[in-house]
Structure 1
């Protein structure tokens, strides 16, 4: 090899080595899942959504398996323990969402009398700001001589023929305390509502407005794992095969955090091979 070429080759090899050490991610394609989940998405009137939520226009591996949103209408919906809820608001900073029951949309006479249920492994009621509104259905005794416990009496048409006497009250008022006055009621349903929206007037519209305003839930979707993933520069998601948490990073998808392993493990070995080839 000509001796005058050695400085040029040496300089070239130094540049190659530095590039391999400092710019490993430029030598390979970025993880497809990372690219797909990087941009937030919209669902109905909700904008800039991300993990743990996903929808038909966003792959399930970008979110938590139990946080699929139905975006087919202007009001997004989520299913929790087989019950559909309207999603009125999502607050990522506090990991809370405001929801209301779809079976009570613009009515307090639903097709079935079912208490509000949530998955306690994933959701919890907020510690403040919510209260329960209780609706009593099919009560045998009309409102008469009733102390100031029940706020409102209303009628529901069952099977389009029978009118039942029904009441609502705040659930802190014990049912046993009023049963002597209104008689046994066949059904009663607890519905969380915002304390600030609890009806102050005894009208049908006021009760509907309170229910439609929804209530707050806190979510727990592998929150601590997601925090660690974000700090490592990754994006939170899940493994569609195992339904477990996954951290999507630029270099791949991992069970926790992002790998710090260099793309090129042996840059100096590569330089040695190049020198041997050129000498």
Structure 2
């Protein structure tokens, strides 16, 4: 048998096979929603936060449908920022497995004097404080004589309206109220989250720096359509967000779906192609044998 004749017959058989079989379009080209969000973005803004996964997304680097709108991250003056109820927080760490985010208010970032604390607002948000957080109170004094030492209170200085004030971190509201009664002008910040571990260091004397306790931030745990995302990923898709319906969705190889990918489209086209390769060769060989017989 002539080599050139054999090769041309084989090629002809392959072409006949491919023309006589229909393959889903997703096997040739992924839907752009899916391909744009499948590759996790490595977010580095002064320090590495690791790979960003849904519900988070990075503004300027990923399309907005890759994440939930309340979980938008961006880099500002070398700080990774998330906004919660219009307030900016620096992101210190993200733990996707435990779904815990550690953040710190921008007011207490390192500077000569920190800005006096304001209570974070987490109500009606997808964030809840973790069990590693304890709520403390602050008493801010104005033009007041020295209060002196008080058990359960730790003094520090902070600025408000460009004025420097003496302030006290109080373990509970009753201590903060007592400190307030000793001064003619004062204000109380009723609830402010700090890490239990950092607060214990302040109490047992291993740390006397209130500013450092504040700069370590606090932890919140998030929830964002976990059941839908689990079903989506199990079907071979990646979780995304429908900005028209304002709901989570499943980004699949052929198109986005509300909850999970269609069973008509395999999660990996390579598997289908690899399983089809023997069929191609068998079909070609059979065609050649029939031709020569």
Question: TM-score under structure 1 normalisation?
Answer: 0.75
Q: How many residues align?
A: 246
Looking at both structures, which has the greater relative contact order when contacts are Cα pairs under 8 Å and sequence separation is at least 6? Answer: 1
1:25 deviation in Å?
Answer: 5.4
Q: 1:79 maps to which residue? A: 83
Write out aligned runs for 1:136-151 (5 A): 136-139=139-142, 140-144=144-148, 147-151=150-154
Q: 2:121 maps to which residue? A: 117
Contact 2:152 2:175 in 1 (8 A): no
Stretches of structure 1 lacking an aligned partner (at least 5 in a row) = 1-10, 264-279
Label 1:187 to 1:36 Cα distance change in 2 as closer, same or farther (>3 A): same
Stretches of structure 2 lacking an aligned partner (at least 5 in a row) = 1-12, 267-293
User: Equivalents in 2 of 1:178, 1:47: separation in Å?
Assistant: 44
User: Equivalents in 2 of 1:157, 1:105: separation in Å?
Assistant: 13
User: Equivalents in 1 of 2:212, 2:150: separation in Å?
Assistant: 25
Write out aligned runs for 1:112-261 (5 A): 114-126=118-130, 128-139=131-142, 140-144=144-148, 147-152=150-155, 154-156=156-158, 158-160=160-162, 163-171=164-172, 174-181=175-182, 185-188=186-189, 190-198=191-199, 199-200=201-202, 206-261=209-264
Q: 1:6 maps to which residue? A: none
Question: TM-score under structure 2 normalisation?
Answer: 0.72
Label 1:132 to 1:262 Cα distance change in 2 as closer, same or farther (>3 A): closer
1:211 deviation in Å?
Answer: 1.1
Label 1:229 to 1:158 Cα distance change in 2 as closer, same or farther (>3 A): closer
1:15 deviation in Å?
Answer: 5.6
**RMSD over equivalenced CA pairs, Å:** 3.2
